[in-house]
Structure 1
Amino acid sequence: MITSYSKRGLAALMLAHCAGMIDLVALPVWVGTLVAYYHFDARQAGLLASLFLGGAVLASAMLAPRFDPETARWKAAIGFALSALLFTVAAQTHHYLLLALLHAVCGITTGLSLSVTHGTIARGSNPHRGFALVGIALGVFAILFLGSAPPLVAHLGGSTLFYLFAGVMAVGALASALAFPRAETDGLPRVSTVRPPVPRQVWYGIAGIACMGLVQSMTFSFLERVGSDRGFGLQAVTGVLIALGFVNLLPAPLAALLEKRLPARNVLMAGPLVQALLVLVIMSSARFAPYAAAASVFAAVMIFTHTFAFGLMARLDRSGRAMAATPAMLMTGAAIGPILGGTLVQGWGYGSLGPVALALGLTASFCFSRLPRAAAVQPQEALA
């Protein structure tokens, strides 16, 4: 067994992770659809995605300090069910203000579910491998989604994207209701009502992940648009997105295999710098080959680095509260990313994203350098 959870429980966590992290997979198609089919400009499209991510940040920040594994199942199921309903409503309208409201509220409901999912993963016996496992599931989901969504949207219209989102959320809700792990049988002992503060070092990791999330969403939101605007063609750009999905299968299992071989802090310090260099290539290349090569591995760097970050930080705080804030870590930066990227693109062109990514990468690397080289697992009695 990879974690203390049953196979049935792990399957539910995988599906919940895929639904909750849909932005990590869908942002290029999401923003591209809003521009191409809803005729919003880059800033308007970026703002809608930012409102969704901002809602997730708000929900995660409010729930994480109060994370209780005993109530995780029903919170996950209800949150995803509401998200499915809201995305279905979004598919019925082109009104910008209504779409903005729906994106924000849907972000809150999705963030609620994702927070309890990540808090539950963190309380498994090996959070590094547990997060790697759900990362593998996300890679498989990315292939299916990125391979099917663009042609479906092109054939059936922009509202199809929101129906696809609703379907994903409905599957997450059903899986959570039927099989989400129960704390009293599958995980660590119940979290104490006495809640010690989150270790100070964890806050450096939170800041580093937020910077990487900002670079990820800022770039990923316009990955499809920059390829299309440079004349690479729909078929070629879709092929890159599919290749990206296949590449995303690799980083999570690779991170699991290398858990004991690579110092986590070294991985965390290098990851943001590699991410920033890839942004420079994607946004400055006028030729298809460098764009395709960099774009296909771009998301993989975030997945690989974040797996090490999750494992190290979960061991620093075994209550699960810090990792229940994972959506807030990722999406604080990610919420700013689409609107920041849209503003930069509209004002100074795609090339302006590169220097900003480099500055954020250096900041993230410094933050990760403040984490310890390793974290000893605290005794389970401390949680009882």
Structure 2
Amino acid sequence: MVRIESKRGMFALMMAHCAGMLDLVALPIWVGTLIAYYQFDPQEAGGLATLFLIGAAGASIFFAPRFNRVHVKLAAVIGFALAALSFVIAGMNTSFPVLAGLHFIGGLAAGTALSVTHGTMGHAINPHRVFGFAGLAIGIFGVIFLGGTPGAIQQFGGQSMFYVMAGVMLLATLACLLFFPKPTKPVPFDNFDQIKHLPPLGKPVWFCMVGVALLAMTQAMTLSFYERIGLERGFSRDMVTMALVIYGIVTIFPAPLAALLQNKVSVTAIIAFGPIFQAIFALLTTQTHHYSVFAFAGPMMAFTILFVHTFAFGLLARLDPTGRAVAGTPAMLMVGAAVAPFISGTIVKFIGFEAIGYACCIIVAVQVYLFSQTRKAVLAGETNIPVAKLATSDRRPAI
């Protein structure tokens, strides 16, 4: 039996995380290709990406509360297989209505698989560490994807983007079929009636979950038009591609760094104040006309979300040991990211790229409030986690 902490189990979860979180890496190329090669306007291109994310969010919202009642390996395998099929068919079509339907179906399938993947991670001995390694995997994947896909699209056409994404989903399908692991940590109930009548999630959990959703929304609003912003600023396609490669390289570091710092920094302080950097980098990305600033700020947006979310994931796993909260990770990320491309596309269509940065600042202010409420509840002892477990390495309270 494959366990989460085994090499095979970690490999399957890392592959599944990369495929399920494909949008985190692919959004700038995804939206940019739909505009450049399919001749959709920014609103339409953003809308197609939004449909995929809405499907993923809807699937996660449905399956997260039922995580302990489904066959997780079967759900992961079927989900990624259907997502791969959806992208293959999308590569054969150019009609907006057909692509819209396929994006939604693909999102439903990928969201189902990702939901059970994250729920399984939550039942590891150390969920924070496992999620950190998954973040490292998506960073390496980002370098490969962002470094190779633009060239393939230029050589073979826009449809090749969908075939590349289908290939990613297919690899995840095979990895899950062969090595998807069993939970390591025992689930804290022993009969179906207990599973069926679990207590509702507390307010600190919900504050944190909504905060993560807005974290993803801010990221996606900027990232989905990162490529187009660069081209509109007059940077060459090679320069923009290099910025995307830097973006991919930067994403390698935040999750493993967060795993190393797990017991050395205040978890609640990271989630409460980390999002402020999102606002700073969003403004820099959308306002600058200097390539060096553009190539720095975009990747640092990714660094921020991956670093902060790793801590949030570990905290949620401890706030809710049943695994329902972390199984809802795709819902948090996708609900936030789902509306982002459409909102950004609308803002760009009627106002301009600069307005995206201002909108992100407003969303970050709400994030800081929500995460601060979770922090306040933890420090006040209103959760089932002892404050000492969230302390810094010298055991002072997490402040």
Shorter-chain TM range is over 0.9
Gap regions ≥5 residues in structure 2? 387-399
Taking a change above 3 Å as real, the CA distance of residues 178 and 45 of structure 1, as seen in their structure-2 partners, is same
Alpha-carbon contact 1:251-1:303 (below 8 Å) kept = yes
Alignment partner for residue 317 of structure 2, among 299, 314, 320? 314
Q: Percent identity?
A: 44
Deviations 1:133-188, CA, capped at 9 Å, x for gaps: 100000000000000001110111000000001000000111111100024xx442
Q: Give the aligned partner of residue 381 of structure 1.
A: none
Gap regions ≥5 residues in structure 1? 379-384
Distance (Å, rounded) in 2 between the aligned partners of 1:11 and 1:250: 18
Distance (Å, rounded) in 2 between the aligned partners of 1:210 and 1:314: 16
Q: Give the aligned partner of residue 58 of structure 1.
A: 58
Alpha-carbon contact 1:68-1:191 (below 8 Å) kept = no
Alignment partner for residue 249 of structure 1, among 239, 248, 252? 252
Alignment partner for residue 188 of structure 1, among 182, 186, 189? 186
Q: Give the aligned partner of residue 129 of structure 1.
A: 129
Distance (Å, rounded) in 2 between the aligned partners of 1:291 and 1:90: 32
Q: Give the aligned partner of residue 382 of structure 1.
A: none
Alpha-carbon contact 2:217-2:340 (below 8 Å) kept = yes
Aligned ranges 1:232-243 → 2 under 5 Å? 232-243=235-246
Deviations 1:74-108, CA, capped at 9 Å, x for gaps: 10000000111110000000000000000001100
Aligned ranges 1:325-336 → 2 under 5 Å? 325-336=328-339
Taking a change above 3 Å as real, the CA distance of residues 220 and 284 of structure 1, as seen in their structure-2 partners, is same
Q: Give the aligned partner of residue 114 of structure 1.
A: 114
Aligned ranges 1:54-93 → 2 under 5 Å? 54-68=54-68, 71-93=71-93
Alpha-carbon contact 1:16-1:176 (below 8 Å) kept = yes
Give, in angstroms, the shift of residue 231 of structure 1.
1.0
Alpha-carbon contact 2:4-2:182 (below 8 Å) kept = no
Give, in angstroms, the shift of residue 270 of structure 1.
1.7
Taking a change above 3 Å as real, the CA distance of residues 69 and 307 of structure 1, as seen in their structure-2 partners, is farther
Q: Give the aligned partner of residue 347 of structure 2.
A: 344
Which aligned segments of 4 or more residues in structure 1 are displaced greater than 6 angstroms?
A: none
Alignment partner for residue 327 of structure 2, among 324, 327, 330? 324
Number of residue pairs aligned between Structure 1 and Structure 2: 374
Alpha-carbon contact 1:125-1:188 (below 8 Å) kept = no
Distance (Å, rounded) in 2 between the aligned partners of 1:69 and 1:175: 22
C-alpha RMSD of the superposition: 1.5
Confirm whether residue 285 of structure 1 aligns to residue 293 of structure 2: no
TM-score (norm 2): 0.91
Distance (Å, rounded) in 2 between the aligned partners of 1:188 and 1:129: 18
Alpha-carbon contact 1:70-1:182 (below 8 Å) kept = no
Distance (Å, rounded) in 2 between the aligned partners of 1:5 and 1:290: 40
Secondary structure, in 3 states, of the residue corresponding to 1:318?
coil
Give, in angstroms, the shift of residue 360 of structure 1.
0.4
Give the stretch that moved more between structures: 20-29 or 210-219.
Answer: 210-219
TM-score (norm 1): 0.95
Query: What letter corresponds to residue 297 of structure 1 in structure 2?
Result: M
Query: What letter corresponds to residue 313 of structure 2 in structure 1?
Result: F
Q: Give the aligned partner of residue 22 of structure 1.
A: 22
Deviations 1:249-296, CA, capped at 9 Å, x for gaps: 110111011111111111111221101110000000011111111112
